[in-house]
Structure 1
Amino acid sequence: MKKKHLLLAMILIITMIFVSACGSDDAKKDSKDNKDSKGKTEQTTIEFWTMQLKPTFTEYIEGVIADFENENPDIKIDWLDVPAADLDKKILTAVSSNTAPDVVNLNPTFASKLAELDALVNMEEAVSDEDKQKYVKGAWEANRLQDVTFVIPWYLSTEVTLNNTKIYEEAGLDPEKPAKTYEEAKEYSKIIKEKTGKYGYFPSLDLSLVLQHMVVMGAELTNEDGTKAAFNTPEGLKAFEYFTELYQEDLIPKEALSGDQRNTIDMYQAGQVAFFAGSHFISQIKENAPEIYEHTKPSEAITGDTGKKTMSVQNIVVPKQTDNEEAAVKFALFLTNAENQLAFTKLTPILPSAVEALEDPYFTEAGEDAEPTDLVRITAAGQLDEAELLVPPMENYDELKEAMFDAISEAMLGEATPQEALDKAEKAWNEILAK
């Protein structure tokens, strides 16, 4: 009996020592984390990376940081701005070497690559339901991979068609009735070419735009689980046939295939193109071609039978490597709140992802003296409810994009029929998706 009591007493003593030690360690850890040697509260430092915002937006970003630090004296923000061409490589290197920053501005494509590596904080878990509701639904849902939302949306854009009303009038078309669909764009292009010798539509096929056009025309890119191509359908074939016909009948400039979006703006500013999706170029047009700007009238994005319109998103991510997840997410939410986003959007032609900011008259009321820049902004904001990220984050995205571009190029150049080119694209996609 005595041995049993002695054993219980020893167990109790060992347990008390262990608990006491843990409490002591926790107390030391809390003291180390929160106070310096003089008993003052220590600052948590958050490393924040942006993509090519200096020097244009230095004052704005520094102002947001100062406001946040004033509200959160225990958190310091260390801001680093990285050239756009270097950011992807720099963040990947940082993640690989376990030196990732705490908060980073990334586009959906590259953010999804990090999400594939399970390198980003799951915002479905890190952000409250109340805060999630503060963002445009389509923007929040645009960045999901395998049912995980891995970003907080920052600023947005939608496509707005810019129309040169002078060319419309020269061709006998009503500038108040711009092309709204692909079929109208083709019809207008034929009339404008015949009446003026100029091009009507300039649909750039640069970057991911081929994929976007296909989705707007009703094609599904992959099956539901993203394991097989799903675009070899009547809708996918229609997209290939549409652009092949426009190209081979010289209804769109050759640069639509061989060039990039800079060719589009150059030809529009020169008065050689009647309409194109180029709302983000409106300030450039105002500066470089004031006469063209004067005759520019914005209209909603050209769409297909689906009625879909595209949304582009810039995001804020928090790498999992951070030792300060709570503080990092707190700063990301502050940076993207309605007040800060509204101030940002008044400095540059972008749209906020915060619902409250979009309710401001700046995005809803044109005013009597509204210029094309104002009308572009209001038109863009007005179609956000029906806009979405048409090409969701996908693994091996660059390879998929290039395979589709190569295939449609062969059709447009007459090296294959549209159906043969579509078959080739399907085969290439299935091989890439099987990796």
Structure 2
Amino acid sequence: MKKKLGFLALLLVITMLVVSACGSKDEGKSKDSKNASGDEQIELEFWTMQLQPTFTDYINGIIKDFEGENPNIKIKWLDVPAADLSKKILSAVTTNTAPDVVNLNPTFASQLAELDALVNMDEAVSDEDKALYVKGAWEANNINGTTFAIPWYLSTSVTLNNKAIFEEAGLDPEKPATTYEEAAEYAKIIKEKTGKYGYFPSMDLSLVLQHMVMMGADLTNEDGTKAAFNSPEGLYAFEYFTKLYQDGLIPREALTGDQRSTIDMYQAGQVAFFDGSQFIVQVKENAPDLYANTIPSQAITGKSGKKTMSVQNVVVPKQTKHQEAAVKFALFLTNGKNQLEFSKLTPILPSNVEALADPYFTEAGDDAEPTDLVRIVSASQLDSAELLVPPMKNYDELRQAMYDAISASMLGEMTPQEALDQAEQEWNDILAK
């Protein structure tokens, strides 16, 4: 959800939730009946985020299997463009027409959870079923002690390395950088020996915050009421990226561009390594020679040893008239069998531990391609991976304040300490709202 929409839209949601709570519980959109056996016939509305047409057959297959096992439940599937989903679900919640099951990311889902608009999965899901999910993925959907979603599919960061540039610089491509310190060292050598950029650490979206956490900084205090990053670790992060940028060892696009810039420069042979696991299929399609020369490796991390996990979820809005059936479908959608099948269609990881136990995620094979190695490396990192930036109130404002501060430092408009002080003050003001 864009920053301009955030405050007004959420204020509208609060108002409408109060109004709808006073209305009749029988005013929902569902029109249920009895089937021939006398069982209640239920229709659930299920929304996904931009899965058609690529995964149409897959989702329809899941729906068919679920309906076969549950003849009294019918699933009505609606796929929504990613750019429209936040607005559409906000509108549906405010008009008391929310779907029964929705695919959302943790950041946006947490904003609905703060309004008490989502079913608490700690209460709706049994301990036995909870244990079927990767611990870090389940915990990624927690705000104020409440779990608001069931994790669906995951990814962890994997570094893509251009073997040819490593060799041109006299570096061993089988020994890629795994720490921020090594990344800086390699960036200097590669720039001096080849004139190309070694490292492309993007500052886009939440990545500044992720870098800081991996370098050992705490973003807030334990109860999330005050900034905690104005520390030696936080200062190190600001000084690290400022020096790389001002010494010309990372591209200007690392600060001014988006994540598209990283893949564009990597495919053009101008960057030796970057966090790019999500782009490996694109490299294969657009630059087959470079793809053959790409070596995936463990994600670069810092003092904390942490690695980032991205999570996609399914939530059940409280407005549903059929909570039990909706949760049942969400658990079916995310079971081991269905997640394993999904993972074989696209480079993602399952959140279900039964699916992760499959050799597909542990054995590369002698003829493994870079896509296979990305999958194996990505899965191997799950034990140390987590959602580095947890759901936070006023997240967009916090993220922008940190980006503005580190930008001022990297551009030389402030010293790293002055920029960090500014970010701390702005965060404390925002957190106090």
TM-score (norm 2): 0.92
Taking a change above 3 Å as real, the CA distance of residues 350 and 328 of structure 1, as seen in their structure-2 partners, is same
- Partners of 1:418 and 1:39 lie apart in 2 by 70
Q: Does the residue aligned with 2:159 lie in a helix, a strand or coil?
A: strand
Q: Residue 269 of structure 1 corresponds to which residue in structure 2? A: 267
Q: Residue 79 of structure 2 corresponds to which residue in structure 1? A: 81
1:142-198 deviation line (CA, Å, top 9, x unaligned): 110010000000000000000001100000001110001000000000000000000
CA drift of 1:41 comes to 3.2
Counterpart code for 1:335: L
Q: Does the residue aligned with 1:297 lie in a helix, a strand or coil?
A: strand
- The structure that has the greater radius of gyration is 1
Q: 2:113 aligns with which of 109, 112, 115?
A: 115
- Partners of 2:338 and 2:62 lie apart in 1 by 7
1:52-109 deviation line (CA, Å, top 9, x unaligned): 0000100000000000000000000000000000000000111111110000000000
Q: Is 1:172 aligned to residue 170 of structure 2?
A: yes
Counterpart code for 1:307: G
Counterpart code for 2:111: K
Q: Residue 127 of structure 1 corresponds to which residue in structure 2? A: 125
- Partners of 1:216 and 1:390 lie apart in 2 by 8
Counterpart code for 1:147: G
- Partners of 2:69 and 2:148 lie apart in 1 by 26
Mapping of 1:214-363 within 5 angstroms?
A: 214-363=212-361
- Partners of 1:193 and 1:392 lie apart in 2 by 36
Q: Residue 99 of structure 2 corresponds to which residue in structure 1? A: 101
Counterpart code for 2:302: G
Contact 2:32 2:43 in 1 (8 A): no
Q: Residue 383 of structure 2 corresponds to which residue in structure 1? A: 385
- Partners of 2:37 and 2:371 lie apart in 1 by 55
CA drift of 1:43 comes to 1.5
- Partners of 2:37 and 2:349 lie apart in 1 by 45
Counterpart code for 2:264: D
CA drift of 1:272 comes to 0.5
Q: Residue 63 of structure 2 corresponds to which residue in structure 1? A: 65
- Partners of 2:321 and 2:40 lie apart in 1 by 15
- Partners of 1:41 and 1:374 lie apart in 2 by 47
Q: Residue 432 of structure 1 corresponds to which residue in structure 2? A: 430
1:236-280 deviation line (CA, Å, top 9, x unaligned): 000000000000000000000000011100000011100000001
Counterpart code for 1:223: N
1:100-151 deviation line (CA, Å, top 9, x unaligned): 0000000000000000101000000000000000000000011100100000
- Partners of 2:241 and 2:365 lie apart in 1 by 38
- Partners of 2:366 and 2:236 lie apart in 1 by 42
Contact 2:296 2:373 in 1 (8 A): yes
Q: 1:145 aligns with which of 121, 125, 143?
A: 143
Q: Residue 395 of structure 2 corresponds to which residue in structure 1? A: 397
Taking a change above 3 Å as real, the CA distance of residues 324 and 250 of structure 1, as seen in their structure-2 partners, is same
Q: Does the residue aligned with 2:201 lie in a helix, a strand or coil?
A: coil
CA drift of 1:40 comes to 4.1
1:191-237 deviation line (CA, Å, top 9, x unaligned): 00000000000000100000000000000000111110000001000
Q: Does the residue aligned with 1:43 lie in a helix, a strand or coil?
A: strand
Q: 1:407 aligns with which of 405, 408, 411?
A: 405
TM-score (norm 1): 0.92
CA drift of 1:306 comes to 1.2
- Partners of 1:416 and 1:39 lie apart in 2 by 73
1:291-327 deviation line (CA, Å, top 9, x unaligned): 1101100000001011110000000000001000000
Q: Is 1:46 aligned to residue 44 of structure 2?
A: yes
CA drift of 1:42 comes to 3.8
User: Aligned residues: percent identity?
Assistant: 78
Q: Residue 35 of structure 1 corresponds to which residue in structure 2? A: 34
- Partners of 1:334 and 1:131 lie apart in 2 by 11
Structure 1 runs, 4 residues or longer, greater than 3 Å off:
38-42
Counterpart code for 2:329: F
- Partners of 1:305 and 1:403 lie apart in 2 by 24
- Partners of 1:148 and 1:39 lie apart in 2 by 38
Counterpart code for 1:332: A
- Partners of 2:429 and 2:321 lie apart in 1 by 39
How many correspondences in the alignment?
A: 403
RMSD: 1.1
Counterpart code for 2:214: V
List runs of 5+ in structure 1 lacking aligned partners. 1-31
List runs of 5+ in structure 2 lacking aligned partners. 1-30
Q: Does the residue aligned with 1:63 lie in a helix, a strand or coil?
A: helix
Counterpart code for 1:292: L
Q: Does the residue aligned with 1:46 lie in a helix, a strand or coil?
A: strand
- Partners of 2:214 and 2:304 lie apart in 1 by 6
- Partners of 1:165 and 1:308 lie apart in 2 by 26
Contact 2:133 2:151 in 1 (8 A): yes
CA drift of 1:403 comes to 0.4
Q: Residue 29 of structure 1 corresponds to which residue in structure 2? A: none
CA drift of 1:33 comes to 6.8
Q: 1:188 aligns with which of 182, 186, 189?
A: 186
- Partners of 2:175 and 2:284 lie apart in 1 by 23
